[in-house]
Chains A and B, each alone.
Chain A
């Protein structure tokens, strides 16, 4: 029983790692651009498939380095052409546009790479379990968690200490004042959007090694990421981080006792939190970190 529980908590944490990466990217974009990026799952898929395509040439490690920046570049271009005209308009339009974009990305991946799922092989070093007793903790899972910790730590450090990060945080609070102080907020939003998409691309590569690739996989991870943001509180990146881990573990634990409800439990959790703390765990409107 203990091992079963441990097994599922670990599973929950692993899936929570995806939620965290996805939700942090979504959160970044939402906070600064006020756009709910429905295409975020699509960017995850793009990241995964790019990794799949370049792995034969550069190996898994090369793909891990190449795919996320390439995805971010695509995100950068998308922001320039499609998202930028929407700033200052009703959030409805950003929602609808990215919704349509998600359709196109899903259909496009199916067109280019086929509807069949694609397996992605990870290096043998990572594929082994750490020990026979804890068979479920493979090296790859550990590697995913460590990578995520490093990336998240880097992100928070950048936001906290670098000039760019300080501008992003300031922009979240009051974009107009930031613009008045001579910061190019168009460039700031572009970079910020690309950073968010970078995280989606990274989770795509990591997910490809763990779950394999399918054109529809992004949608499945998108909704829980929304929930992670709501649970953590809109506007707070720390909240998003906690929210992602929390719902991951919650669904892992529920899988032990009531497997059918493991998907639904995160929404129940969300409803509870909205009842008790309408702004989410760490949410303060207009505040960040």
Chain B
């Protein structure tokens, strides 16, 4: 099979699995709400990987923009207007603009320094969400809002009580953002990002404005992240400060690495495995934290290229 045909088969398989998820998941012990969660967290992991896997800079504080997105959606539904699309836009804007602003402080650093600064700035936003309890509800989280039926003028879709309809709504949102992400990566800008990842110095010699490119990539990824966070608020009808915490960032990075951060779809696989495993472990033992920690260590030591990277290496080239 030629490369192009193979890509088409892979793509069709992925979408078929996702589209029919509400119908096959019950047979393997899953439930539709879990499917929606996997999609949203996968979107977040793919946004992290947009930066990590394709620009080569590690942000370990990306959950902050995810959590902000969730608050943005919550605020919009609670204080602005009962509209689901509006809440998604507000969430995306809140996460993305915060990222654009902080990103300008961050992008000049590299390597471990970059990672540390992103963690620290992520924690600022976490503390703000945690302390400003009159607005955010503090530790208890933001409650008192729920996703609204989609109104098209000629008819409406109830995504609040109909879990399957909501899953398809999330899937459509997922598809749109993933398409945008894929488009950016295919564009000359995306190619430049990869050039920076492969050899920053050479890219600089070629006259590429490295800082500006990294800043744009960082900001874009924060917009995607804010969107994912907004969707997450709709999944739970709830937003809380833990969504901004660096341990959440660690989970996202882990999903990306576990799936395979050199590939576009890797984080989706990673998120699915991670969410299902966590769901299963926490129902099985109170010491699930140890097992998750062990998973981190095992992946780093034995599968640094992730599941997809591992599978690819087994095949003859």
Partner-B contacts on A (CB < 8 A) = 30, 34, 36, 38, 82, 85-86, 89-93, 95-97, 99-104, 106-108, 111, 223, 226-227, 229-230, 234, 260-261, 263-264, 267-268, 270-271, 274-275, 278
Partner of A104, one of B109, B289, B299: B289
The binding surface of chain A is classed by DSSP as helix
Residues in B whose Cβ lies below 8 Å from that of A111 = 287, 290
CB-CB under 8 A for A264 and B127, given A103-B289, A271-B105: yes
Interface status of B169 (Cβ within 8 A of chain A): no
A158 to chain B minimum Cβ distance, whole angstroms, is 24
* B60, B121, B292, B297 pick with most chain A CB within 10 angstroms: B297
Q: How far is the CA of A107 from the CA of B117 in the complex (A)?
A: 27
CB-CB under 8 A for A103 and B296, given A30-B112, A275-B105: yes
Partner of A91, one of B112, B128, B131: B112
Q: How far is the CA of A99 from the CA of B124 in the complex (A)?
A: 19
* B52, B113, B124 pick with most chain A CB within 10 angstroms: B113
By beta carbon, the residue of chain A nearest B124 is: A267
CB-CB under 8 A for A91 and B293, given A100-B300, A229-B116, A274-B105: no
Interface status of B257 (Cβ within 8 A of chain A): yes
- In B203-252, the 8 Å CB interface with A consists of 246-247, 250
B84 to chain A minimum Cβ distance, whole angstroms, is 32
Asked if residues A230 and B128 are in contact (CB atoms below 8 Å), the reply is: no
Asked if residues B290 and A92 are in contact (CB atoms below 8 Å), the reply is: no
CB-CB under 8 A for A95 and B115, given A100-B292, A101-B297, A111-B287: yes
Task: Tally the A-B contacts, defined by beta carbons under 8 Å.
Answer: 112
Q: How far is the CA of A92 from the CA of B112 in the complex (A)?
A: 8
A25 to chain B minimum Cβ distance, whole angstroms, is 15
Partner of A234, one of B52, B112, B253, B295: B112
Asked if residues A95 and B60 are in contact (CB atoms below 8 Å), the reply is: yes
Asked if residues B287 and A267 are in contact (CB atoms below 8 Å), the reply is: no
Partner-A contacts on B (CB < 8 A) = 52, 58, 60, 105, 108-109, 111-113, 115-117, 119-121, 123-124, 127-128, 131, 246-247, 250, 253-254, 257, 287, 289-290, 292-297, 299-301, 304
By beta carbon, the residue of chain A nearest B117 is: A230
Asked if residues A97 and B296 are in contact (CB atoms below 8 Å), the reply is: yes
By beta carbon, the residue of chain B nearest A234 is: B113
Partner of A263, one of B117, B131, B257: B131
Q: How far is the CA of A175 from the CA of B295 in the complex (A)?
A: 31
Residues in A whose Cβ lies below 8 Å from that of B112 = 30, 34, 36, 91, 95, 234
B105 to chain A minimum Cβ distance, whole angstroms, is 5
CB-CB under 8 A for A270 and B290, given A99-B296, A101-B297, A264-B127: no
Residues in B whose Cβ lies below 8 Å from that of A275 = 105
Q: How far is the CA of A92 from the CA of B261 in the complex (A)?
A: 11
Partner of A278, one of B109, B246, B292: B109
Asked if residues B253 and A92 are in contact (CB atoms below 8 Å), the reply is: yes
Residues in A whose Cβ lies below 8 Å from that of B115 = 36, 91-92, 95
Asked if residues B123 and A92 are in contact (CB atoms below 8 Å), the reply is: no
Residues in A whose Cβ lies below 8 Å from that of B299 = 96
Q: How far is the CA of A242 from the CA of B2 in the complex (A)?
A: 60
Q: How far is the CA of A271 from the CA of B102 in the complex (A)?
A: 9
- A sample of 29 cross-chain residue pairs with beta-carbon separation below 8 angstroms, ordered by A number, consists of A34-B112, A36-B115, A82-B297, A91-B58, A91-B111, A92-B253, A93-B300, A95-B115, A95-B253, A96-B254, A97-B297, A99-B247, A99-B254, A99-B296, A103-B289, A103-B293, A108-B290, A223-B120, A223-B123, A234-B112, A260-B131, A264-B128, A267-B123, A267-B124, A267-B127, A270-B120, A275-B105, A278-B108, A278-B109
A109 to chain B minimum Cβ distance, whole angstroms, is 11
Residues in A whose Cβ lies below 8 Å from that of B117 = 230, 274
Asked if residues B121 and A271 are in contact (CB atoms below 8 Å), the reply is: yes
Asked if residues A104 and B105 are in contact (CB atoms below 8 Å), the reply is: no
By beta carbon, the residue of chain A nearest B301 is: A85
Residues in A whose Cβ lies below 8 Å from that of B121 = 267, 271
CB-CB under 8 A for A96 and B120, given A89-B304, A104-B289, A275-B105: no
Asked if residues B287 and A107 are in contact (CB atoms below 8 Å), the reply is: yes
By beta carbon, the residue of chain A nearest B289 is: A107
Asked if residues B293 and A101 are in contact (CB atoms below 8 Å), the reply is: yes
Residues in B whose Cβ lies below 8 Å from that of A95 = 58, 60, 112, 115, 253
Q: How far is the CA of A268 from the CA of B254 in the complex (A)?
A: 29
